[in-house]
Amino acid sequence: MSLNICLLPGDGIGPEIMAQAVKIMDVTAKAFGFTVATSEALLGGAAIDAAGTPLPEATVAACTAADAVLLGAVGGPKWDNIEKSIRPERGLLGIRKAMGLFANLRPATLFDELRHACLLRADIAAQGLDVLIVRELTGGIYFGEPKGEETKDGERRAFNTMVYAESEIERIARVAFEAARKRRGKLCSVDKANVLDVSQLWREVVIRTAKDYPDVELSHMYVDNAAMQLVRAPHQFDVMVTGNLFGDILSDEAAVITGSIGMLPSASLGSSGPGLYEPIHGSAPDIAGQDKANPLATILSVAMMLRHSLDMAAPAEAIEAAARAVLKEGWRTGDIMQEGAKLVGCEKMGSLVAERIAK
């Protein structure tokens, strides 16, 4: 079996963490008897510098032709003040849209070895945290029309529109119900149905869709309460499904609670075609080029890629087990460092995981 993976290293620490992910793919392929062919394309600031646009057409073509896409991170201070329409983040939103990636799967898992880093009270952390946030990615307020700025009665106003069609809600709900089926069978739909019309429709459609998943226990929660419950009692959640804006915020909240955004992978999936896999953190310009970045989120994204896009559960588990073993042995990058642990850089962390996969 030969896999064709398109790499989008991006900016900041992107190239460093991507190099470790490639190392992991190569060693995993060797251990499990498949081959990986990689191609590289430009996205974000790197693409702006080389081609004047954050998402060149060649990148879209390379991504859609691949079996799966692995992304580092985009953005940085160098491009903070350029014209809005070509900012690096536009590349990110654009590639998600171009690939039809409407579902973002973000697991927030608290590793036993990193419980000390959890930002919650010890008694709450002890109950565990293993939640999968399913966020709608191509609709809602980030894409809704009309949007823009106008001058009215002598002052500037700006506006965006939160809009969801029934079909958009139903397809993300189905992804979430299916995910819940593969986990602990619980789904919490998060909305703001007490205030927003769009949320009332969201809730109606989720309830209607639930009829096809009688084995999944469905609950509903307002987004403000969900934000509180995630810090009060996160162990109550299995899978959460929500729209683009709420999901953006809640998934970052769930992530930071675990203590390191350098540990968390994500998957973005469409109805068909390749999925896109990336760490949830940004380009970390403050540590770029210093061999300080934690590559584990990107390495664990490789595991998600093998599992979700390529149906290769065993190699995915091997990568996850190797990452856990390295943590158990006390190896840490700076972001997850603790007293008595062994501090390593990005490159060494990648090699440690690779060695354990090869064993």
Backbone angles phi, psi at 13, to 5 degrees: -75, -5
Residues 12-31 that bind ligand NAD (CB under 6 A): 13
Q: Which of 49, 197, 212, 224 is catalytic?
A: 224
**Rounded-to-integer distance, Cα 57 and Cα 54, Å:** 10
Q: Which of 253, 244, 242, 311 is nearest to 280 (CA)?
A: 253
Compare residues 113 and 278 and give the one whose CB is closer to ligand NAD.
Answer: 278
Check if 222 is active-site: no
Q: Which residues contact 276 (CB under 8 A, 6 or more apart)?
A: 63, 68, 69, 70, 71, 95, 96, 99, 101, 267, 268
Alpha helices in 79-188 (DSSP H): 88-98, 122-125, 166-182
Q: Which of 26, 130, 252, 291 is catalytic?
A: 252
Q: Are strands 265-269 and 103-109 parallel, antiparallel or unpaired?
A: antiparallel
Is 234 a binder of ligand NAD (CB under 6 A)?
A: no
Tell me which of 48, 179, 261, 276 binds ligand NAD, using CB under 6 A. 261
**Rounded-to-integer distance, Cα 111 and Cα 117, Å:** 10
Check if 215 is active-site: no
Q: Which residue has the tokens 């119900």?
A: 177
Tell me which of 24, 73, 134, 172 binds ligand NAD, using CB under 6 A. 73
DSSP-assigned letters across all residues of 169-210: HHHHHHHHHHHHHHTTSEEEEEE-TTT-HHHHHHHHHHHHHH
Check if 197 is active-site: no
Check if 252 is active-site: yes
Compare residues 82 and 228 and give the one whose CB is closer to ligand NAD.
Answer: 82
Tell me which of 15, 56, 75, 274 binds ligand NAD, using CB under 6 A. 75
Is 92 a binder of ligand NAD (CB under 6 A)?
A: yes
DSSP-assigned letters across all residues of 261-276: GGG-EEEEE-SSS-EE
Is 329 a binder of ligand NAD (CB under 6 A)?
A: no
Check if 248 is active-site: yes
**Rounded-to-integer distance, Cα 46 and Cα 58, Å:** 14
Tell me which of 101, 293, 303, 305 binds ligand NAD, using CB under 6 A. 293
Compare residues 188 and 280 and give the one whose CB is closer to ligand NAD.
Answer: 280
Compare residues 134 and 263 and give the one whose CB is closer to ligand NAD.
Answer: 263
Is 76 a binder of ligand NAD (CB under 6 A)?
A: yes
Q: Which residues bind ligand NAD (CB under 6 A)?
A: 13, 73-76, 89, 92, 261-262, 278, 281-287, 293-294, 297, 335
The catalytic residue positions are: 142, 192, 224, 248, 252
